[in-house]
Amino acid sequence: MDQQRIGQFIQEQRKAHGMTQQDLADKLGVTNKAVSKWEKGIFDTHQITSRLRLTCGKVDLQLC
């Protein structure tokens, strides 16, 4: 997956679960600005995949 597709996927999953960017940020321990950047495809791929894998149990999203 390229970064744009990953960002779109994160946004789709967040919205499907009725979450705001702030809700997701709070669950993942990041800022809402970080979530916004992820959804725009602006991130280091290794860093975001590591963060999401570590927190999959905290958020009911199909990211793992």
E-assigned strands of the chain?
Answer: none
Alpha carbons 58 and 9: distance in angstroms, whole number: 18
In the block, tokens 């597709």 appear at: 5
Answer yes or no: are the C-beta atoms of 12 and 43 closer than 8 Å.
Answer: no
pLDDT at 12: 94
Q: Quick one: average pLDDT of 32-42?
A: 94
Q: How many residues does the chain have?
A: 64
Answer yes or no: are the C-beta atoms of 28 and 19 closer than 8 Å.
Answer: no
pTM for the structure as a whole: 0.76
What topology does CATH give the domain 3-55? 434 Repressor (Amino-terminal Domain) (1.10.260)
Domain boundaries, the chain: 3-55
Give SS3 for 34: helix
